[in-house]
Amino acid sequence: QWRGVIAEYADRLPASVTERVVTLREGGTPLIPAEHLSALVGAQVHVKYEGLNPTGSFKDRGMTAAISDAARTGAKAVICASTGNTSASAAAYATKAGMACGVLVPEGKIAMGKLSQAIAHGATLIQVDGNFDDCLDLARKLAEAYPVELVNSVNPARIEGQKTAAFEVVDALGDAPDIHCLPVGNAGNITAYWKGYSEYADSAAPGADGVAVASRRPRMWGFQASGAAPIVLGHPVSHPETIATAIRIGNPASWRQAEAARDESGGLIDAVTDEEILDAHRLLSSREGIFVEPASAASVAGLLKMHVAGKVPAGATVVCTVTGHGLKDPQWALRTADGSDIEPVRVSVDVVSAAGAL
């Protein structure tokens, strides 16, 4: 049975996270060949379905590491700022470790599924009259003033845990892809994937024992929502706006690291509109059978945009990470392209039997 990302990749992780492992058996998520997307863009497209982690998003990879590290130090409480998924994950792992958990979220801008998770796991929820960036500033101040561990992706353990997704992609494909697409919000995930791909391509990396697992590193293609695209614009966005609330972030904590991943990989960071995100969201659920929350679809929306721009080499191997399950924010599946609500069909039994359908 899959033992969780720390046990599975222990030789490539620091002792600070392997010493006292707190796990919900996260990771080992499917890498699904996407036939329709592949035909659409003329490449070999695979979808890394991170919504199938224990709390429904990729955050579990980083949180198992951050909470394990906190458990090692004897921490009794953790805190984080979140657009939702980090708080859901922190609450679950803190509960597993017997720790208290405080979460700061932008008031009214957190998807119901994520809010229910943080509440269900008994987190102390603080709704802040501000955006995610305001929440992160507050969380940093609280972690300095009180004996609580900050578990946002500014915590290096988070990046260590999240880099395991890149290991899994290479272990599944046999090498790194040519291109890796993913959404970019606070920019911890693009930083973590680049670290993972770089370590797998480096024979001198921890745990490599002189053998590089991958023959290359992919080009990293990160995508922000056009209403929340500070890295694309080159300056912070003070009032980020997007229906993809998970990436409604105006001043990413890992901004420089994301630019390094872009530049060192010969990749790009671009923006996609809310409409392109929702189109990709619908395409994934209606043609690939994969249900994601809107922010996740930014990776596929970006791939489609790059295809239209002629930037996807024919036959290239492409991986799109879809970061959170659709059940986190199900309202978007109940709305058609033109915004009208989808009404479930109401049929009385007599009509059905009359139609001879039984």
Ligand X SMILES: Cc1ncc(COP(=O)(O)O)c(/C=C/C(=O)C(=O)O)c1O
Residue 20 CB-density burial (10 A; 0-12 exposed, 13-18 middle, 19+ buried): middle
User: Does the protein bind ligand X through residue 231 (CB under 6 A)?
Assistant: no
Sorted by sequence, the CB contacts under 8 Å of residue 292 that are 6+ apart come out as 51, 281, 284, 285, 322, 323, 324, 325, 326
Question: Of all residues in the chain, what percent are helix, strand and coil, respectively (each to 5)?
Answer: 45, 15, 40
Confirm if 78 and 98 have CB atoms less than 8 A apart. Answer: no
Binding mask 190-229 for ligand X (x = CB under 6 A): ----------------------------------------
CB closer to ligand X out of 166 and 213 = 166
Query: Nearest distance from residue 301's CB to ligand X, in Å?
Result: 12
CB closer to ligand X out of 58 and 200 = 58
User: Does the protein bind ligand X through residue 324 (CB under 6 A)?
Assistant: yes
243/12 Cα distance (integer angstroms): 37
CB closer to ligand X out of 246 and 301 = 246
Q: 169-188: which residues touch ligand X (CB under 6 A)? A: 183-188
Q: How is residue 100 written in tokens?
A: 């208290």
Q: What count of residues does the chain have? A: 358
**Which residue among 68, 164, 189, 226 contacts ligand X (CB under 6 A)?**
189
**Which residue among 29, 53, 86, 164 contacts ligand X (CB under 6 A)?**
86
Binding mask 64-83 for ligand X (x = CB under 6 A): ------------------xx
Confirm if 38 and 27 have CB atoms less than 8 A apart. Answer: no
Confirm if 306 and 221 have CB atoms less than 8 A apart. Answer: yes
User: Does the protein bind ligand X through residue 242 (CB under 6 A)?
Assistant: no
Confirm if 123 and 169 have CB atoms less than 8 A apart. Answer: no
CB closer to ligand X out of 64 and 83 = 83
Identify the CA nearest to 301 among candidates 222, 245, 187, 238.
222
Q: 264-303: which residues touch ligand X (CB under 6 A)? A: 293, 295-296
Site size toward ligand X (CB under 6 A) is 21
User: Does the protein bind ligand X through residue 245 (CB under 6 A)?
Assistant: no
Query: Nearest distance from residue 113's CB to ligand X, in Å?
Result: 11
Residues that bind ligand X (CB under 6 A): 57, 82-86, 153, 183-189, 246-247, 293, 295-296, 323-324
